[in-house]
């Protein structure tokens, strides 16, 4: 983990353009100067990235999210009775380091305080032994009360509190395990949810059925505005509205709980148990992400699985692999790990920066990626039962949930590498292309994990207030798949053309594209423009020119680009924020694809990258530029600050790496 040196609250993020400007000593003065500057900057970045490769061939940067991951890990250990003081002390130290001056915790660097994160952070520190009368704790408790108290926190936070008797189960939305039997054509069946939500909701139906209460070691009266009446009255919405309808459905489910057949309930719980265990990965985790692992372990424990049972033991061991220890005294929990994603992006960056196609580092990376291809069906096959597997997942172990985005980028990376067994590569790419084409949604675009996962009903459930719970097609994922299809010679395929038409229709009036999995319009635009050009759109196309004008108009005064996560909820923040290396890389990749190599905007962007690079080739980037759920869950991929600037620098110096491969092989 690369530790940041900012204070607990992080620096404020201004809503105005960054004030840092080029000085005469560092400002490029001509094409030759900027080229030499780009070469030196790229060379340092290449050396740094090569030094970070694992012996097995992969790259993985830390995946930083927010302290709810750390807090919930401690709550799980307390609930299961596996507490150890070293873990609690180290996690508490990390949680304290992220507290803002006002007592709250944010969900991203420099962001506003978040009520649920603050409640969970406070409870975790109190579990770790922090004195509630200590200044940092009294500030946190006061902040919680001023912002509505526990009652206004998200449902998931109150579920954690209910596990210890700090909240009543009766005052939470009901989630019956019988939904496991809903066929796929019935609204609100589990496959209507995105895979990340599905993996979490199934075990939570078990938890909801049992309503367990582990004796609380203390009270939390200080987090309620009125401890005597912790649950404020909330009037029902009109029955003619969707909110009102779902509120009444939830009330009916609470009534159903009282009359549900015990035999039926036992059978549903048994089926949920089977579903959970079948989806445990070889390394013990679930889906390669931490939240489903946490809830699955709780569910299985409630179903009678002893902590020494092989399923439980493997699951508990997998939790420790989500821990990053920046030093012996501090522990951070990753929500997920991103080796496949990081490795394909690093390979693309190095190849585009001019590393020989048969360089040992690239060949080793290709070998590792080829070994990670998923060749068995997963949950995606519920909607595509006859599709032959062939995708890649994001994580080390996640055979149930490969995604179209990783598959596209791995294919783009493999196509850049000269592997000693080209037939093996071609077989893998053939499977990948076939699988990705088979995962195309009806509108011509791609979601990340499932096909046509677009039902709006799951988002309306009172239970689902924790972020995005469906996986509709997005411009960034679709663009990456289109770019891959173009690289495989399918730019004229009717399915590719349909996707291109969808992308053109999705362009915003200002010329940008929305970014689902990265922040935000800079990511969307940085993904789409290179894909459209690769698919054959001329750089003179009106959509490309609008994108160029938009990127030029939002460039920061210092020459870089930046966008704050608040752009997901407030248009004032669109392409507005502190310049970052990753977002500057995205903007430059789009401008270079659009034929703007000699533009002033590109020159200034290259200058910013050169000026802000550290001597060791690294860029500091405390700002979060990755997206889990838009606004609700944000990510700082610690390798983004390397791979995207280097890709942009390489394309400035050498052109697109894939185009060079095609020219050489022709």
Compute the distance between CA of residue 206 and CA of residue 270 in angstroms, rounded to an integer: 9
Report the alpha-carbon distance of residue 293 to residue 299 in Å, rounded: 10
405 labelled catalytic:
yes
- DSSP letters, 39-53, are HHHHHHHHHHHHHT-
User: CA-CA distance, 227 to 224, in Å (whole number)?
Assistant: 5
pLDDT at site 31: 64
307 shares a domain with 173: yes
Q: Give the helix/strand (H/E) hosting 323.
A: strand 323-327
- Dihedral pair phi/psi, residue 134, rounded to 5°: -65, 150
Please identify which residue in the block is written with the tokens 């677009």.
454
Return the bridge partners of 392, or none.
Answer: 403
Candidates 657, 610, 619, 655; CA nearest to 640 is: 619
Residues 409, 538 within the same domain:
yes
Extract the tokens encoding 373: 């291809």
- Up-side HSE of residue 134: CA atoms within 13 Å toward CB? 11
What per-residue confidence (pLDDT) applies to 227? 76
Split into its structural domains, the chain has a count of: 2
Task: Kindly state whether residue 560 falls inside one of the protein's structural domains.
Answer: yes
pLDDT tens digit sequence for 225-273: 877 777 766 677 887 887 787 778 878 888 888 898 999 999 999 999 9
Q: Does residue 287 sit within a domain?
A: yes
CB atoms < 10 A from the CB of 407, how many? 29
Question: In the chain, how many H helices and how many E strands?
Answer: 24, 7
pLDDT at 52: 97
Structural domain ending residue among the three candidates 289, 305, 333: 333
Rounded-to-integer distance, Cα 485 and Cα 277, Å: 36
**Per-residue buried b or exposed e for 329-346, using 16+ beta carbons within 10 Å of the residue's own CB:** ebbbbbbbbbbbbbbbbb
| Alpha carbon 518 to its chain's center | 8
Q: Are residues 431 and 327 in the same domain?
A: no
d(CA 455, CA 562): 33
Please indicate, yes or no, whether residues 363 and 343 belong to a single structural domain of this protein: yes
Kindly report the backbone phi and psi dihedral angles of residue 438, in degrees, each rounded to the nearest multiple of 5, phi listed first: -70, -15
The predicted pLDDT at position 660 comes to 64
| Secondary structure (DSSP) of 422-486 | HHHHHHHHHHHHHHHHHT--TTS---SSSSSB--SHHHHSTT--SS---B---HHHHHHHHHHHH
Give a yes or no: residue 17 inside a domain: no
Radius of gyration of the chain (CA): 25
pLDDT of residue 29: 52
Q: Identify whether residues 310 and 437 lie together within a single domain.
A: no
Q: Secondary structure of the chain: what % helix, strand, coil (to 5)?
A: 50, 5, 45
The pLDDT assigned to 496 comes to 98
Residues 372 and 405 in one domain: yes
pTM: 0.92
Same domain, 182 and 48: no
Q: Mean pLDDT in each 10-residue stretch from start to end of the chain (666 residues)?
A: 37 39 43 90 98 97 96 96 94 97 96 97 97 98 96 94 95 93 90 91 95 94 83 75 79 87 95 96 90 94 96 94 92 95 98 96 98 96 96 94 97 97 97 98 97 88 77 97 97 97 98 97 98 97 98 98 96 96 98 97 98 97 95 94 98 84 55
Residue 464 in domain: no
* Domain encompassing residue 393: 31-61+338-456+473-665
* CATH for 593: 1.50.10.20
Two structure tokens written together for 414: 């493999």
Q: Is 579 within the bounds of a domain?
A: yes
Q: DSSP letters along 57-112, please? A: S-----EE--THHHHHHHHHHHHHT---HHHHHHHHHHHHHTB-TTS-EESSTT--
89 CA to centre of own chain: 27
List, as one string, the DSSP characters of 125-184. HHHTT--TTSHHHHHHHHHHHHTT-GGGS-HHHHHHHHTTTSS-GGGS----GGGGG--T
CB-count exposure of residue 381 (10 Å: 0-12, 13-18, 19+):
middle
Distance CA 157, CA 165 (A): 13
Tell whether 13 is covered by a domain.
Answer: no
User: Given CA atoms 276, 278, 282, 286 in this order, what sign does their dihedral have?
Assistant: negative
- Mark 515-549 as b/e (b = at least 16 C-beta within 10 Å): bbbbbbbbbbbbbbbbbbbbbebeeeeebbebbbe
Q: Nearest to residue 271, comparing CAs of 176, 142, 379?
A: 176
Helix (H) or strand (E) holding 637: strand 633-637
Q: Given 73, 405, 476, 564, which residue is catalytic?
A: 405
Same-domain status, 415 and 271? no
pLDDT at 127: 96
557 lies in the same domain as 660: yes
SS (H, E, C) 588-636: HHHHHHCCCCCCHHHHHHHHHHHHHCCCCCCCCCCCCCEEEECCCEEEE
**Is 329 found in the same domain as 342?**
no
Q: Which helix or strand (DSSP H or E) is residue 312 part of? A: helix 310-320
Q: Residue 5's pLDDT is what?
A: 35
Q: What pLDDT score does 32 carry?
A: 73
Of the candidates 333, 361, 394, which is a domain's last residue?
Answer: 333
Structural domain contains residue 531:
yes
The answer to whether residue 604 sits within a structural domain is: yes
Domain boundary, last residue among 292, 312, 333: 333
Q: Judge if 326 and 343 occupy the same domain.
A: no
Torsion angle, alpha carbons of 34, 39, 42, 43, to 10: -150
Closest CA to 68 of 580, 467, 342: 467
| Residue 408 shares a structural domain with residue 296 | no
Buried b / exposed e over 225-255, threshold 16 CB at 10 Å, is: beeeebeeeeeeeeeeeeeeebbebbeebee
Q: Which of 369, 350, 358 is nearest to 639 (CA)?
A: 350
Which sign, positive or negative, has the C-alpha torsion 640, 518, 451, 547?
Answer: negative
């Amino acid at each position: 983990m690369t530790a940041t040196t900012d204070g607990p609250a992080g620096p404020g993020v201004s809503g105005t353009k960054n004030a840092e400007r080029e000085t005469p000593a560092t400002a490029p003065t001509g094409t030759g100067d900027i080229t030499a500057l780009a070469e030196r900057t790229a060379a340092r970045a290449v050396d740094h990235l090569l030094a970070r490769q694992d012996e097995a061939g992969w790259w993985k940067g830390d995946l930083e999210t927010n302290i709810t991951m750390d807090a919930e890990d401690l709550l799980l250990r307390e609930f299961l009775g596996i507490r150890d003081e070293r873990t609690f002390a180290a996690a508490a130290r990390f949680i304290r380091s992220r507290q803002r001056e006002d007592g709250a915790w944010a969900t991203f660097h420099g962001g506003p305080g978040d009520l649920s994160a603050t409640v969970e952070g406070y409870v975790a520190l109190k579990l770790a032994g922090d004195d509630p009368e200590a200044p940092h704790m009294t500030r946190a408790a006061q902040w919680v009360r001023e912002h509505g108290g526990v009652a206004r926190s998200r449902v998931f936070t109150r579920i954690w509190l209910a596990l210890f008797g700090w909240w009543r189960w009766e005052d939470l939305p009901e989630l019956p395990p019988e939904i496991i039997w809903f066929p796929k054509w019935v609204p609100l069946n589990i496959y209507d949810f995105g895979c990340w939500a599905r993996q979490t909701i199934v075990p939570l139906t078990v938890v909801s059925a049992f309503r367990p209460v582990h004796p609380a070691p203390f009270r939390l009266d200080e987090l309620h505005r009125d401890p005597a009446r912790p649950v404020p009255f909330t009037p029902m919405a009109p029955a003619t509205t969707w909110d009102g309808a779902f509120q009444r459905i939830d009330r009916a489910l609470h009534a159903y709980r009282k009359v549900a057949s015990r035999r039926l309930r036992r059978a549903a719980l048994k089926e949920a148990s089977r579903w959970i265990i079948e989806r445990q990965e070889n390394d013990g985790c679930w889906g390669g992400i931490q939240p489903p692992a946490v809830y699955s372990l709780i569910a299985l424990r409630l179903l009678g699985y002893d902590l020494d049972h092989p399923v439980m033991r493997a699951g508990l061991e997998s939790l420790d692999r989500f821990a990053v220890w920046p030093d012996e005294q501090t522990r951070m929990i990753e929500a997920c790990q991103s080796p496949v994603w990081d490795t394909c992006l690093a390979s693309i960056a190095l190849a585009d920066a001019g590393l020989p196609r048969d360089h040992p580092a690239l060949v080793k990376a290709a070998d590792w990626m080829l070994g990670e291809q998923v060749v068995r069906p997963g949950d995606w096959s519920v909607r595509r039962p006859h599709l032959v597997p062939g995708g890649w997942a994001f994580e080390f172990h996640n055979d149930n949930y490969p995604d179209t985005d990783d598959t596209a980028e791995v294919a783009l990376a493999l196509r850049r590498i000269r592997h000693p067994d080209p037939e093996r590569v071609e077989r893998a790419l053939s499977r990948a292309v076939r699988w990705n084409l088979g995962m195309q949604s009806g509108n011509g675009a791609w979601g990340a994990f499932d096909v046509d996962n677009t039902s709006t009903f799951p988002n309306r459930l009172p239970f689902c207030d924790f972020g995005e719970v469906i996986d509709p097609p997005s411009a960034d994922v679709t663009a990456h798949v289109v770019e891959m299809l173009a690289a495989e010679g399918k730019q004229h395929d009717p399915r590719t053309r349909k996707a291109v038409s969808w992308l053109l229709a999705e362009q915003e009036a200002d010329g940008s594209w929305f970014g689902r999995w990265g922040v935000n319009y800079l990511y969307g635009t940085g993904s789409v423009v290179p894909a459209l050009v690769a698919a054959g759109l001329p750089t003179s196309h009106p959509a490309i020119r609008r994108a160029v004008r938009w990127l030029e108009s939002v460039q920061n005064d210092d020459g870089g680009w930046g966008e704050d996560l608040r752009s997901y909820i407030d248009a004032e923040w669109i392409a507005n924020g502190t310049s970052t290396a990753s977002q500057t890389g995205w903007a430059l990749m789009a401008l270079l694809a659009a034929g703007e190599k000699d533009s002033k905007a590109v020159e200034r962007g290259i200058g910013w990258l050169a000026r802000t690079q550290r001597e060791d080739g690294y860029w500091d980037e405390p700002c979060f530029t990755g997206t889990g759920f838009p606004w609700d869950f944000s990510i700082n991929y610690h390798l983004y600050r390397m791979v995207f600037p280097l890709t942009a620098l390489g394309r400035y110096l050498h052109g697109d790496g894939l185009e060079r491969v095609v020219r050489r092989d022709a």
